[in-house]
Every structure is written in structure tokens, then in C-alpha cells.
């Protein structure tokens, strides 16, 4: 399996470098789904999740960046404010990121390390309700 750095260096991930909400604003990228759980098979697709800083315009209420979804690469990058909100809600798509192996995460900013170092702040009994509806 390629590293996350090798994967996102490909041209299919150019949107990370040119999208107005992502260019120069990325906080972290990480593997999601089966790769983050250690259950990936050779046939598994690659899911990338991440977080990007909100712009000044977003913070002041003149913009509304919440997330960028790139379906061809199965990538979702959330705004910082949405990331924190969803992590506080124990959202499965975001809460899985705080448990990533170090080699499965690509950090662009020290804020990402702060989130990871303080992951216990996001874990609560809410996780029971977030994951409780899933059945095998």
C-alpha cells in the first residue's frame, strides 16, 4: 500500500492544491474507512478525510465553506469549524480520524497535532448513539 503522501501527490488530487477552500489551508489529511481500521484488502478503495481552515470571510459570515467532496477520489475535506462540531457529536466519519496510526495521517499544521493530542475531549457517551445504529 502506498503512503498517504504518495497517494495525494498524484494528479487526481490536484484539487487539494488548487481549490480555493483548500489551497494553503489544509490542516491534515488521513486515511478513512477500511484503511484506517486495518481491514483493507487489495480490492479496497482509498478514502481520504481531512480538515482545512476556514477563511476570514467564512468566520465573519461572508462565506459558507463546510466541506469539499471529490467523488472520483472518495475524498472529503471538512472545514475546521465543521470538523470540531462533528467530532464533538462523535460523528463516525470524523471520530475515526483521532485514532489513526501516525503513518496514516499527513499533518500540515500544528493545530492537527493539538486535535490529536486532545482526542479525549471528543470522546463521550454520544459515541454510543453515533455508532449504535450500525449492525453487522
Q: Domain segments of the chain: what residues?
A: 4-127
Per-residue confidence (pLDDT) for residue 109, from 0 to 100: 94
Confidence bin at 125 (pLDDT 50/70/90) = low
- Comparing CA positions, the residue from 55, 45, 108, 107 lying closest to residue 80 is 55
Is the per-residue pLDDT at 132 higher than 70?
Answer: no
CATH architecture observed for domain 4-127: 2-Layer Sandwich (3.30)
> What's the chain's average pLDDT?
87
Contacts of 88 (CB under 8 A, 6+ apart): 122, 126
Average pLDDT estimate for 80-96 = 86
Query: 32-79: per-residue pLDDT in tens?
Result: 888 877 888 888 889 999 999 999 988 888 888 999 999 999 999 999
Per-residue confidence (pLDDT) for residue 131, from 0 to 100: 63
Per-residue confidence (pLDDT) for residue 79, from 0 to 100: 96
pTM: 0.86
DSSP 27-91: EEEEEEHHHHHT---TT---EEEEEEPPPHHHHTTS----EEEEGGGTEEEEEHHHHHHHHHTT-
Confidence bin at 98 (pLDDT 50/70/90) = confident
Amino acid at each position: 500500500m502506498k503512503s498517504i503522501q504518495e497517494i495525494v501527490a498524484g494528479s487526481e488530487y490536484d484539487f487539494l492544491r488548487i481549490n480555493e477552500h483548500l489551497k494553503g489551508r489544509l490542516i491534515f489529511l488521513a486515511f478513512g474507512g477500511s484503511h484506517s481500521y486495518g481491514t483493507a484488502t487489495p480490492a479496497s478503495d482509498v478514502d481520504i478525510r481531512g480538515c482545512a481552515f476556514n477563511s476570514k470571510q467564512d468566520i465573519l459570515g461572508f462565506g459558507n465553506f463546510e466541506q469539499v467532496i471529490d467523488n472520483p477520489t472518495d475524498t472529503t475535506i471538512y472545514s475546521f469549524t465543521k470538523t470540531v462540531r462533528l467530532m464533538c457529536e462523535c460523528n463516525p466519519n470524523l471520530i475515526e480520524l483521532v485514532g489513526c496510526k501516525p503513518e496514516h495521517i499527513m499533518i500540515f499544521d500544528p493545530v492537527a497535532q493539538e486535535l490529536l493530542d486532545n482526542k479525549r475531549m471528543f470522546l463521550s457517551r454520544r459515541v454510543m448513539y453515533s455508532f449504535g445504529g450500525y449492525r453487522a
